[in-house]
Amino acid sequence: MREQSPSKIGIVISGASGSLLALQALRILKALTNKNPTLSSHLIITQGARRTAELELNASQRVELTALADHIYDDNNLTATFASGSNPLSGLLVVPCSIRSLSAIAYSQTDRLSIRAADVMLKERRPLVLAVRETPFHAGHLQAMQLITQMGGIIAPPVPAFYLAPKSIDELAEQSAARLLALLGLDMGNWLKQWQPPSSD
């Protein structure tokens, strides 16, 4: 059941390529939590995500990645509060989402906090958004996505909105991140640019 006003937003960064997407999502979420003291961010960075971040982000960006969240959890900590359905997150975004994480969520392989948290979202009927980063897909990938969709999750590959004519990779990633966070029920306000047809004048 979706809350009227989301309060605890979870972000999982998995080992897929796309560390910048996670960074932009955390930047937006930090701005939102600064404006709304009842909103908090809860971050899990998988071991694979740390390795990928070392390849894709510079040193200051990697520091920022962990500094932006209100709370950070070890992926091996299955005693975290939101590992229980009695104290779930308001919504969870996995960005980027690797095929390994996608498959583990689809088949309830809950040996890590990141996967257990996603499983809790599904069983408690809370918003779960997976920004799957892979291409092309084979039948096994698609079957896992179908399973998660049937269970109530949202599969949202971060497809760029080129029609908005982004001027930089950062702007492109920011728009993708805003769209993903909006799927959790958050009000993106000016963060999210919307399509406007050309004027006929």
Consult the annotation and say whether 46 binds a ligand. Answer: yes
What pLDDT score does 4 carry?
58
Is 179 annotated as contributing to ligand binding? yes
Query: How many domains are there within the chain?
Result: 1
Q: How confident is the model at residue 143 (pLDDT cuts 50, 70, 90)?
A: very high
* Residue 197 in domain: no
Whether residue 118 lies inside any domain: the answer is yes
* Assigned domain for 195 exists: no
- Whether residue 1 is contained in a domain is answered as no
Q: Is 112 labelled as part of a ligand binding site?
A: no
pLDDT at 157 over 60: yes
Given a cut of 80, whether residue 154 has pLDDT beyond it is yes
Helix (H, G, I), strand (E, B) or coil at 8: strand
17 is in an annotated binding site: yes
Average pLDDT over residues 7-17: 96
Task: Please answer whether residues 133 and 97 qualify as being in contact, where contact means their C-beta atoms are separated by less than 8 angstroms.
Answer: yes
126 labelled binding-site residue: no
Q: Is 73 annotated as a binding residue?
A: no
**What type of residue is 58?**
N
pLDDT of residue 1: 47
Q: Which domain holds residue 100?
A: 8-187
Contacts for 44 with CB less than 8 Å, ≥ 6 apart: 10, 11, 12, 13, 72, 73, 74, 75, 113, 114, 117
Write down the pLDDT at residue 122. Answer: 98
| pTM of the predicted model as reported, rounded to 2 decimal places | 0.93
Question: Do the domain assignments include residue 36?
Answer: yes
**What CATH number does the domain containing 29 carry?**
3.40.50.1950
Note whether residue 201 is domain-resident: no
pLDDT per residue as tens digits for the range 176-200: 999 999 999 999 988 888 777 776 5
Answer whether residue 196 is part of any domain: no
Secondary structure (DSSP) of 73-120:
E-TT-TTSGGGSTTS--SEEEEEEE-HHHHHHHHTT--SSHHHHHHHH
What number is the average pLDDT over the span 28-41? 94
